[in-house]
Structure 1
Amino acid sequence: MKLRRLTIDGYKALDDLSFDMPYNLLFLIGTNGAGKSSVLQALSFVRAFASGNVDQFISDRQWKWSDVRPRKNLRPVGKSGRVRVLPTKNLQFRLLLEPETGHSIVWEFSWSYVAQQTMSEQIWDVAPDAAPRRIFSYARSTRVSPESSSDSIKVDDLRFPGSAMALLPVGAISEGRADAAILNAIRNWARGITSLELLSPVAMRRNTRGQPRDIGPRGERLAGFLAALGPAGRARLVDRLSTFYPLSGLDATRKTAGWIDVRIQEPFTNIARFTPTHMSDGFLRILALCAIPDFAEDVSMVLLDEVEDGIEPHILPDLIRSIAGQSQAQLLMTSHSPLLVNFFDADEIRFLTRDDDGSTIIAETADMKSFASSAQFLGVGEIWANTAADRLSREARRSDRQSAGRDDSTDVERIRRFAAARS
């Protein structure tokens, strides 16, 4: 299952932000503070929501819920200028997912900052040349009323901090029913979102235990992940790494009480194998990226913030291409590197900036005059580096206003339009 379109409303400066997701990878570029990292954070929230543990999302970042409320609701009060958070709208998501069945699935939900609970959640099956069919619905404030279709799975009113699906074992639904497979696929996809947005070489140097499915959001589970790969997996990783870094060997040995000793070998004479303590920050970041194709098969999407940080720019484009080509997961990453994005197609890049009211807007580079007029001769990165930032921001705003349009339709027609909007 792949994410093909996403709408986020009510997270920091993300105000009804919509964009399409290519099949393999997408770069978010643009001005500082435009909201690029917020998009990654919002998708991390989706994973926490699907697991029924949204508080983990906040605690991992050592935040408070007021830190992620919409910026529009922050107002100075009185002469002191003290900031007060006014009543806010709910955090809302709408996701278009495409499983291998050929159908499209629309998953939408609303979560309340005030109550810190799910307010509503719906899942729709959108088949080609057929009306969207709602297969799952939940509402907090009222019981879900009976519907004319007997195919819809209905959940009575609950008070739950995450997805209602987290309380609904797939085994509770009749086996062999297609709707059960859809629900299970959505849950697995959402729980497979893997964030490396907090990646830290300091955390990657820590010794760990266990057999994790990935390296952890900060890289803190790297040692355990390498040990779980086994000799064959580590040999595969060394082969991938050696293209970008002089490396001839990597060992991960389990010691007493399950702690793991990691050592690498470089192809230089008179240099012994050494531990992560002596590994450079750049190497550890390259190692983290090269490990992505070996993440567990249930990892659906990998989020990377400022992917170029600490990595030599000449190898970075080939490194990203290699990872994307070998990984089954989609890659969504932010970047401030024109050199990097210059090696990728325009449809793999979105430009972000802020509107006059502070809301994040996102534009396809093909819809922006500067990119479109020079695309025949220059790459996206070259155009980006040689065009004034305020000009690009104006063009993005113009593109956003031309494509904007309030959708007042409801239910079936609203879902149909959302599914059909993907380019």
Structure 2
Amino acid sequence: MDHITHFHIDKFKSLHNFTIPFPPSPNNTFLCLIGKNGSGKSTVLQAIDFAGEIFRGKISPWLKSRNWEKRDISSFQRLQNINLDIEGRFNGHTVNWSSSFNIQQLRCTQEKIRIDGNTVFSVADGKYRFFGENEVKNIFTYEGSILSILDKEILEDRGLTAFCAFMKKMYSFDTLNSKQLRMRTRPVDADTNIGRGGEFLSGKIATFSAGQIKELLAKVCEFYPWIINIYTSSLRGGWKELFFVEKSADGGTHRFSSQNSCDGLLRLVGFLTEFMTSDTFIVFDEIENGFNPEIMEKLVRMITDFPTQIIITTHNPVIINYMQEDIAIESTLLVYRKQDGTTGIRRFFEIPEVSERLSYLSPGEVFLDVDIDDVLIDAELV
């Protein structure tokens, strides 16, 4: 499975020389971010989304969708560049991409790609080149990475298709909300997801085959066994609306639209739809919102079993208890603010004061038992 093994970003908002520590076990693709309000958890999710947007080449619309200005993506006002270094395994090869993103120009003015340690592509001084080829080409107008506008054939011939496709589909659903999940939308294409706020959910499900609907329904029934059907209905102008059918007390059935469904059901369907259709990095903020403990326990166990890379944030220590202990220990990352205002991150259960409590407390109980401020001071992290 294609996946990222290294993510480093420098000078994006509060992230200064910041590296995400991925789980050491190759079969563990799950990360859970914990930390106090304002520590920078959402900023980490935004940074992942930013990296994906660089490869989609639509930085201006991305800023507008978040009501941001150029100056908002870096807290280092005198510095004009955000540096990224991302590495992973794609099609059996190690691919490393490094870049320098110019905030004023909204594009990467320097880029380099290495495959298995060999440099194959670079951008510098207004030109780009593929190594092993004599031609050096001038750069034209674009946003993000120049890789976002190169023909698929060019990328395929040079072994970059899998990496670029993975990055383009890397999104953070950190603004997922019930209002947008309820929206009527037109059908979307196969590569479109449910939308950062869930606004394309009905359009995405409208493209599902009968087999996919059956799979989605089976997963939903694990949480809501009274739901017996899920479908979309066509409205004027090609718009689609999501409907559910449930058992009724008189032995019949009752149909209701997404406009009248509970927030938890919609969030669950949004999560499951994305898990079923995504083969890249999936990022969800405060995943516990809208769910009772029974639903959350099943969802966490389902998430940790998915082969796709997933990052969630949470304020709820019980969620950590729902994970297998080895996954919880490897995957729980503490995000915190340093004295200089920048954001730090480390494996929570590697902090000595925390790890010693695992001998008599469960991972979730440890999270609940410790005082984060004291832990940070004792570990000399602030």
**TM-score when normalising by structure 1:** 0.81
| Alpha-carbon distance between aligned partners in 2 of 1:55 and 1:36, rounded to the nearest angstrom | 23
Q: Could you tell me which of 273, 285, 296 is aligned with 1:291? A: 273
| Alpha-carbon distance between aligned partners in 1 of 2:69 and 2:377, rounded to the nearest angstrom | 33
The corresponding residue for 1:39 is 44
- The one-character-per-residue Cα deviations of 1:357-403 (angstroms, maximum 9, x if unpaired) are 011000112320122111233232211111112112225544x9xxx
Kept after mapping to 2: 8 A contact 1:227/1:254: no
SS in 1 for 2:209: helix
Kept after mapping to 1: 8 A contact 2:34/2:314: yes
Kept after mapping to 1: 8 A contact 2:10/2:83: yes
The corresponding residue for 2:68 is 63
Q: Which runs of 5+ in 1 are unaligned?
A: 74-85, 127-131, 401-423
The corresponding residue for 2:347 is 364
The corresponding residue for 1:275 is 257
The corresponding residue for 1:394 is 377
**2:59 aligned with 1:54:** yes
Kept after mapping to 2: 8 A contact 1:138/1:156: no
**Residue type of the alignment partner of 1:4:** T
- The one-character-per-residue Cα deviations of 1:77-101 (angstroms, maximum 9, x if unpaired) are xxxxxxxxx4224111111111241
SS in 2 for 1:378: coil
Kept after mapping to 1: 8 A contact 2:96/2:115: yes
1:115–1:258 distance in 2 versus 1, CA, 3 Å: closer
The corresponding residue for 1:376 is 359
| Alpha-carbon distance between aligned partners in 1 of 2:16 and 2:229, rounded to the nearest angstrom | 48
Kept after mapping to 1: 8 A contact 2:9/2:19: yes
| Alpha-carbon distance between aligned partners in 1 of 2:360 and 2:136, rounded to the nearest angstrom | 55
Kept after mapping to 2: 8 A contact 1:10/1:89: no
| Alpha-carbon distance between aligned partners in 2 of 1:199 and 1:163, rounded to the nearest angstrom | 26
Q: Could you tell me which of 305, 308, 313 is aligned with 1:329? A: 308
**Residue type of the alignment partner of 1:225:** K
**Residue type of the alignment partner of 2:14:** A
| Alpha-carbon distance between aligned partners in 2 of 1:266 and 1:156, rounded to the nearest angstrom | 60
**2:77 aligned with 1:97:** no
Percent identity reads 24
The corresponding residue for 1:8 is 9
| Alpha-carbon distance between aligned partners in 2 of 1:218 and 1:45, rounded to the nearest angstrom | 16
| Alpha-carbon distance between aligned partners in 1 of 2:30 and 2:369, rounded to the nearest angstrom | 24
The corresponding residue for 1:122 is 112
Structural RMSD (CA): 2.4
1:143–1:193 distance in 2 versus 1, CA, 3 Å: closer
Deviation at 1:157, TM superposition (A): 4.9
**How many residues of Structure 1 are paired with residues of Structure 2 in the alignment?**
368
**2:197 aligned with 1:223:** no
Kept after mapping to 2: 8 A contact 1:95/1:106: yes
**2:151 aligned with 1:166:** no
Q: Could you tell me which of 166, 175, 189 is aligned with 2:166? A: 189
The corresponding residue for 2:119 is 134
- The one-character-per-residue Cα deviations of 1:290-339 (angstroms, maximum 9, x if unpaired) are 2223225xx4111101111111123213212213424x421111111100
**2:225 aligned with 1:235:** no
Deviation at 1:42, TM superposition (A): 0.9
Deviation at 1:222, TM superposition (A): 1.1
The corresponding residue for 1:266 is 246
| Alpha-carbon distance between aligned partners in 2 of 1:8 and 1:153, rounded to the nearest angstrom | 31
Deviation at 1:45, TM superposition (A): 0.9
Q: Could you tell me which of 228, 231, 240 is aligned with 1:248? A: 228
The corresponding residue for 2:78 is 87
| Alpha-carbon distance between aligned partners in 1 of 2:20 and 2:275, rounded to the nearest angstrom | 25
Kept after mapping to 1: 8 A contact 2:48/2:171: no
Deviation at 1:48, TM superposition (A): 1.2
**Residue type of the alignment partner of 1:137:** S
The corresponding residue for 2:329 is 346
The corresponding residue for 2:97 is 107
SS in 1 for 2:288: coil
| Alpha-carbon distance between aligned partners in 1 of 2:317 and 2:193, rounded to the nearest angstrom | 29
**Residue type of the alignment partner of 2:264:** G
Kept after mapping to 2: 8 A contact 1:303/1:333: yes
Q: Which runs of 5+ in 2 are unaligned?
A: none
**TM-score when normalising by structure 2:** 0.89
Deviation at 1:152, TM superposition (A): 9.2
| Alpha-carbon distance between aligned partners in 2 of 1:152 and 1:95, rounded to the nearest angstrom | 27
1:369–1:362 distance in 2 versus 1, CA, 3 Å: same
| Alpha-carbon distance between aligned partners in 2 of 1:357 and 1:8, rounded to the nearest angstrom | 17
Q: Could you tell me which of 206, 215, 219 is aligned with 2:183? A: 206
SS in 2 for 1:120: strand
Kept after mapping to 2: 8 A contact 1:370/1:383: no
Deviation at 1:162, TM superposition (A): 1.3
| Alpha-carbon distance between aligned partners in 1 of 2:233 and 2:294, rounded to the nearest angstrom | 33
SS in 1 for 2:254: coil
1:315–1:124 distance in 2 versus 1, CA, 3 Å: same
Q: Could you tell me which of 9, 28, 35 is aligned with 1:30? A: 35
1:338–1:121 distance in 2 versus 1, CA, 3 Å: same
